[in-house]
Structures are given as C-alpha cells and as structure tokens.
Amino acid sequence: MTAPTLRYAVATALMASLALAGCKKDKPVDTAATPPPMSTPAPSQPATPPPMSSAVSITSVTLGKAAGADKRIESATTDFASTDPIVVSVATNGSSGSTTIHTRLMYQDGQVAGEESQSIATDGMETTNFTFNNANGWPAGNYTAEVSVDNAAPRTTTFTVK
C-alpha cells in the first residue's frame, strides 16, 4: 500500500471506530430528577391457598320422571311408561372453570335414543339434570343411560320402558 492509501484506510477505520463508540455511549443518569424507589410494606393478607384440583367426578346418577326446584329427583325410578319424560340427574363434585357433562340414552339394540351435553363451571358439589322426551313415545325395552365428564369413561345406569 502507498502512504496516501494507508492514510485513508487508517482515517476511515478511526472514523468508523469513533462512530461505533458514539453509538454505544450511555446517557448520563440525572440522579437529582429521579427520586429513590419507595419501599412498600408487605401485604398483611394471608398467602393465597393453592388451587383446588380441577378434576370433576360423578358422585351419583339418579333417574326419575321429574326434578324439583332443588334439581333433585322427586321420586327415583328405573321403570318408565312410553310417554314419560326421562330425567337423568347427575351429581358431581370437584372444581373446574369448564367441565362438559355428556349424557346418552342407548336402546337395547345399541341405537342412540337421546343425547345431550351441558357445560358447567363448578367449585364443589353440583347437580345437573338432563330431560329426555319422545313425542312418538319410547319403544318398550331395556335402556342404558351413559353419563361421562370431559370424555372420561362413562358411568352407566340401566332402566326399562314398559
């Protein structure tokens, strides 16, 4: 390299170094304008208890023809007439922001005679009712009510239509 070329290279490198150094330069901190952080006392409330299990389980399945205002079956039965409504009352226990209860009535030949789902939010014991009606009357025979929570294995109860 010649002397003028070397000078230009050194000058260019020096200017690039100065430019980069200027980019990384921190602003001075004005301590007079920024007050020191205030300490806040710890809250006097007790620690939050750990969340309850989100599992919801079926505690009982009761069949009947009508439910009262408290959602309980007025008279439990497994024998129905063809014109009776079939009320499936599902008692659950547990805690969940969203749980789906699914109920299906199966006729003796495996045909689905009725199917309903309800989504619930619960924090403890809950009763959910499903009412099935058949405008043409239920065919006589043996049936199974299958009830499941969040696609878990169903709990089954058998009943008869005469």
User: Can you give the pLDDT at residue 4?
Assistant: 53
pLDDT in tens, 38-93: 444 444 444 444 344 448 999 999 999 999 999 999 999 999 999 999 999 999 99
> What domains can you pick out in the chain, each with its CATH number?
56-161 (2.60.40.10)
User: Can you give the pLDDT at residue 151?
Assistant: 84
Global confidence as pTM:
0.66
User: Can you give the pLDDT at residue 78?
Assistant: 98
Long-range contacts of 102-106 (CB under 8 A, 24+ apart): 102/147, 102/148, 102/149, 102/151, 102/154, 103/130, 103/145, 103/146, 103/147, 104/145, 104/146, 104/154, 105/132, 105/143, 105/144, 105/145, 105/146, 106/143, 106/144, 106/145, 106/146
Residue 85 vs residue 11, higher pLDDT? 85
